[in-house]
Structure 1
């Protein structure tokens, strides 16, 4: 659990980095890059928008993936990218690769229908995801095999349908305002069949809607949730949130889903040593099935706290571990320089601060500490 004062200190230090020069026409924020792939399953080209986590290009780490249905809704996709970046920076969840699937013909192409042959379009999209899109993402980016599928409104009912079908290599599903009212009988039948299965891998479902949502969401969600509660399939962990006066597709759906999926990624109690941190994230790694590292933000906050409280030995241990795990982090190298400075190791402090400035030449905190250690000659 982070001390809020330490978070404010870190944000203050980051804020010292100068902004882009006035008048520059360079984009301040990059949302993602488009990739177009051929989809024989769909008989057309598919546009994907990919947002990579900070530091992706400088390392070798592999990442989980959030598959976002309907990235042509750019405002919502941008919000999801910002949510991932902010929550990762705050140490609330591991860094993710965000992959958006554009739906230029609208998201109704994902809705399974109850008439004969009515699931054909939804099934084609399931096959395209499983056989074409996920393999492309795995070939092109450093993924680790863990995936979340997010869908909202009509694509939300598709997310539920995909979970119940069991045909995707996905471990977690987020369904925001799922329009189950388009196919209530089909969803009930598939839910009964899926709940009876005993050989399915463990999966997670997050359901969210608002009390003033569309009727096709609000009328069917209670019955679907009650069926899950009654049948209680051992392979499924699920959580539900009902918001108040937020309309169709609540604006905090991605953040709340991630918190529900990773409730204790940010430890609920203080971890004051590197050994305790490594034990905590090793336990989480076993739970989720992929390696979870001690977050950069937690290493900095705890290391800085230890150093200012006089625990220089533990602080040095934390920052040395952090600079090895996150070699491109100017902040952690600056923190190591801070520890060496407080311990009176001038040469080691200068070396660490120079490394921080090599990585980030405008790093204000590192520059000021280095100026104190190397005053200008007269």
Structure 2
């Protein structure tokens, strides 16, 4: 009898405490002709991406180098910053690129110079494949992502160390491949500071067409260097060039992280980099409730700063409109839902909300028209069906 009781207890506990997986992304791969190998990458999709309540939207994309090291942390940072009505950045797709031969892919020249030898021993056996890696990004991975996902056309590159070196190379020679760059403790010492020398001439003449870069430098006092040049000195030279050459239409910021070393800097720098790139994204909720036009003003400012047209998301406008309805501010709610209709005219949810606003204002005829439009766009919208039936009772 005791055994039967224990078996029943185990069965009860097993069925009482269910287990579900928490998934932050998915793994993918493509064969790269540019690199002559199969390459793996990980995809994070934002919360609204598959939300059937809202009309399908397009999203900016972050390309994350060294994904095996920072995919989990970066997607967590991005998710937190983009969450709710106080979002400081837009929801974004994150593409994490994992490594096969990191030094080969992320360095612009071969290590055949004195700077790469230590007591006649070659430090980097394979290097200088950055050109092919950039070709992979530009002609293979970017087109794949754009054709398989709803991308907006705004792209960010995040690179640390050799990844930061790659980001500088792309900024200088393939500027339009990305709209913004987070360059974290870049290895600008590489090949006797070759990228700094190139930047010196390129910064004089090039129009960077509203690109943004965030440059971060770690404290290296306790970190021994295994090259004949110095990482910190190279980064400071690059910062000085940015200040003295004032490259046209390049928005930039620099920060020295005194309490971080080369290994710990990525997380705080990634957070700060996103805040810098989208510094004009946040709209103050309480002020916007009283004056909905502030939203349009803020996004106009964000678009001007980034050189790219950004719009408030439907989920944000929906939240703001409902917030106003709950506080008996139907006029403000109507302004938010009208804004949503202007940007997302194929959304059934927008017309449902407009119908609810009309009901609040006791305009039943207008409410009926909105509910009917909501059902025309989505015949399976159960809430619109219920509201329409109740309206006609």
2: CA distance between counterparts of 1:268 and 1:342?
25
Q: 1:306 to 1:158 in 2, by over 3 A?
A: same
Q: 2:98 and 2:311 mapped to 1: Cα distance?
A: 32
Pairwise CA distance, 1:140: 1.3
SS in 1 for 2:206: coil
Give runs of aligned pairs for residues 75-86 of structure 1, distance below 5 A: 76-86=70-80
State the 1:283 CA deviation: 4.3
- Spell out the pairing of 1:95-134 with structure 2 (5 A cutoff): 95-107=91-103, 109-113=105-109, 120-134=128-142
| Conserved 8 A contact 1:152-1:177 | yes
Confirm whether residue 63 of structure 1 aligns to residue 59 of structure 2. Answer: yes
CA contact (8 A) 1:184 1:220 kept: no
3-state SS of paired residue (1:56): coil
Give the aligned partner of residue 257 of structure 1. Answer: 273
Q: 1:45 aligns with which of 38, 50, 67?
A: 38
Cα root mean square deviation, aligned: 3.8
**2:233 corresponds to 1:233:** no
Q: Does residue 1:191 correspond to 2:209, yes or no?
A: no
Q: Name the SS for the 2:217 alignment partner.
A: strand
Choose the corresponding residue for 2:258, options 236, 244, 258. 244
Match among 159, 163, 166 for residue 155 of structure 1: 163
- What is the alpha-carbon distance in structure 1 between the residues aligned to residue 47 and residue 382 of structure 2? 14
C-alpha contact 2:280 2:299 (8 A) present in aligned 1? no
* 1:187-241 deviation per Cα after TM superposition (whole angstroms, max 9, x unaligned): 2211112212234433211111232475553232112111221111113221112
Structure 2 length as normaliser, TM-score?
0.71
Task: Give how far 1:43 is off.
Answer: 1.0
Gaps of 5+ in 1: 1-20, 362-369, 374-378
Which sits farther off after the overlay, 314-323 or 181-190?
Answer: 314-323
| Counterpart in the other structure of 1:292 | 310
Whole-Å Cα distance in 1 between the matches of residues 207 and 156 of structure 2? 20
Greater CA drift, 58-67 or 319-328? 319-328
Q: Return closer, same or farther for 1:195/1:265 CA change in 2, 3 Å cut-off.
A: same
Could you tell me how far apart the structure 1 residues matched to 2:187 and 2:60 are? Answer: 27
Q: 2:8 maps to what in 1? A: none
In structure 2, what is the Cα distance between the partners aligned to 1:98 and 1:301? 24
**Equivalents in 2 of 1:94, 1:333: separation in Å?**
24
Relative distance call for 1:338 and 1:155 in structure 2 (3 A) is same
Aligned position for 1:26: 20
- Answer whether contact 1:243 1:250 (CA < 8 A) is retained: no
Distance change in 2, residues 1:40/1:168 (3 Å):
farther
Aligned position for 2:283? 267
Point out where structure 2 has 5 or more consecutive residues left out of the alignment.
1-14, 114-125
Larger Rg: 2
Structure 2 residue aligned with 1:365? none
Establish whether residue 219 from structure 1 lines up as the match of residue 233 from structure 2: yes
CA 1:184/1:96 → structure 2, altered by over 3 Å: closer, same or farther? Answer: farther
Q: Is the 8 A contact 1:165 1:190 kept in 2?
A: no
- What TM-score do you get using the length of structure 1 for normalisation? 0.74
What is the number of equivalent residue pairs in this alignment?
Answer: 335
Which SS does the other structure have where 2:251 is aligned? strand
Displacement, 1:296?
Answer: 5.2
Match of 1:276 among 294, 299, 302: 294
**Of 85, 89, 97, the match for 2:83:** 89
The answer as to whether partners of 2:170 and 2:177 remain within 8 angstroms in 1 is no
- Matched position secondary structure for 1:72: helix
> Per-residue displacement from partner, 1:18-43 (whole Å, max 9, x unpaired)?
xxx96333312x22122211111111
Structure with larger RCO (C-alpha < 8 A, sep 6+)? 1
- 1:141 aligned residue (149, 152, 159): 149
Q: Distance in 1 between matches of 2:20 and 2:37?
A: 34
User: What is the CA–CA distance in structure 2 between the aligned matches of 1:108 and 1:120, rounded to whole Å?
Assistant: 6
Give the deviation of 1:268 after TM superposition: 6.4
